[in-house]
Amino acid sequence: MAATMLDSVTYGPLWRSAALAGLFEEIPRTRAWLEILAVLAEVEGEFGVIPAEAARGVAASCRAVNVDADLLAELAAARHRTGHSTAGLIEAVARRAPAVAAEWVHFGATVQDLTDTWLMTALRTARTHLGAQVAAAAATLAELARLHRATPMPGRTHGQEGLPITFGFKVAGWVAELRRHRARLAELAARMDVGQLGGGVGSLAAFGPNALALRARFCERLGLRPPEISWTSSRDVLAEWGAVLTLITGTADRIGHEVYNLQRDEIGELGEAAVAGVIGSITMPHKRNPEISEHLGTLARLVRHQAAALLEGVVHDHERDGRAWKVEWQAVPEITLMAGRAAELLAELAAGLEVRPGRMLQNLRAAGGKVGSEGLMLALARHTGRQTAHQLVYALAERARASGESLSAAAQSDRQILQYLSPAQVEALLDPAGQVGQCAAMVDRVLSGDA
């Protein structure tokens, strides 16, 4: 039975990326470890660190091991017996290897050489998938921004209607943010995709006088770059991975939270796609809950809290610190799977988003001109000065609020304001559709890449 939501047959697809799950599952991971051990033996044979015949035997045995439930049970028993995480795998290969090769399995390397190297290959695949999903969401939202570059809607601050904006302006802000995340993933690639082979304390002492060339060849065979120095105790890159996933899922959460709020019945400006047969509530049949938007928030919270554990690993004792390093075994796969699912869900949310321009304009009109108060104040300021204009409009707004009259109607009959502006000027200034500033121009800048 599954112990967590990530492992659940029923619920797991909502919590983990199916495209990435195979990277971290035990059987595929063990196969990947065996391939790394095979390559290590071949390179060691090439450089004369172990006998050539032994190298061929170790590599062939690693690749011939049948990784199945029986092998996993064998490894678990060895783990219990030896107290060591990888001794069982070494024993399993040695038992299956010819006599000439059995003593040379995993020669000179440590568990961390194996696990760090594997992790870099796994995260390379994860990074590519994440980048593709972020790009898909950004592309969909860019089209939405183009379509609604001039669609007016209320801009809100502190949860209250402030001034008019366009929906395209809001969405273009999301697009710009997602593009920055794609750039972060690309920049991170320059610090990831680096293999690990250092031996006991990272000194390469076990690999002979050509150890640096051996390490370079080992990494090259696995499609990784050789490190400039062993990084067994330098965990900043994995902490950075966690930080980037926190930013990506944070943006997904921000977008989802916006949809969550704007889908409220009393606002009704956006909505998640209506999917036939999807039930919002088993007790209230009328409901359409923003399920994706909510779940983006759940995933983002878990990612940022687990990513914080990776920051702890930056403070590392000496040349290896199991307390810090082994936190990654739990945290990195989980945040990667959850961030991958969040990116997929964001792309899905963007593709099906319902936009309701009529409701946006209706909400602006319902404000009775108050969202145009800044424009009215600035027009008056040319005659009275800004502070006096602010006092005039503030007092007018308070009277309108108390009486239930719209700000537009109150301003068009106010004698002080009519000393400087005509009723037609006041009406134009308080028309929300005409007070969106440079929103459309900024949308164009984002869409042209001049952000």
- For residue range 126-180, list pLDDT tens digits in order: 999 999 999 999 999 999 999 999 999 999 999 888 889 999 999 999 999 999 9
Global confidence as pTM? 0.90
| More confident position, 113 or 401 | 113
- Report whether 76 contacts 91 (CB < 8 A): no
What pLDDT is attached to residue 450?
Answer: 53
The tokens describing 428, both together, are 């134009």
- Report whether 77 contacts 103 (CB < 8 A): no
What pLDDT is attached to residue 451?
Answer: 45
Name the fold adopted by 5-46+50-104. Fumarase C; Chain B, domain 1 (1.10.275)
Whether 181 has a pLDDT exceeding 90, the answer reads yes
Whether 283 has a pLDDT exceeding 70, the answer reads no
Whether 74 has a pLDDT exceeding 70, the answer reads yes
Whether 3 has a pLDDT exceeding 80, the answer reads no
| More confident position, 86 or 241 | 241
The SS3 of residue 440 is: helix
| More confident position, 84 or 280 | 84
| More confident position, 36 or 97 | 36
Question: How far is the C-alpha of 50 from the C-alpha of 58, rounded, in Å?
Answer: 10
- Report whether 292 contacts 255 (CB < 8 A): no
For the chain, what is the mean pLDDT? 90
Question: How far is the C-alpha of 23 from the C-alpha of 309, rounded, in Å?
Answer: 21
What pLDDT is attached to residue 315?
Answer: 92
| Domain parsing of the chain, residue ranges | 5-46+50-104, 111-200+223-359, 370-430
Q: List the catalytic residues.
A: 158, 281
Is the sign of the CA dihedral 70, 74, 77, 83 positive or negative? negative
CATH class of 111-200+223-359: mainly alpha
Name the fold adopted by 370-430. Ribonucleotide Reductase Protein R1; domain 1 (1.10.40)
Residue tagged 């359409």 (tokens): 288
- For residue range 256-273, list pLDDT tens digits in order: 999 999 999 999 999 998
Q: Alpha carbon of 194 to those of 31, 89, 203, 227, 231: distances in Å?
A: 20, 24, 17, 6, 10
Output the CA torsion 12→15→16→18 (10° steps): 50
- Report whether 171 contacts 152 (CB < 8 A): no
- For residue range 191-221, list pLDDT tens digits in order: 999 999 999 999 999 999 999 999 999 999 9
Q: Alpha carbon of 371 to those of 196, 361, 435: distances in Å?
A: 59, 12, 9
- Report whether 47 contacts 208 (CB < 8 A): yes
What pLDDT is attached to residue 286?
Answer: 66
Q: What is the DSSP letter of 106?
A: T
What pLDDT is attached to residue 284?
Answer: 55
Pairing mode, if any, of strands 160-166 and 152-157? antiparallel
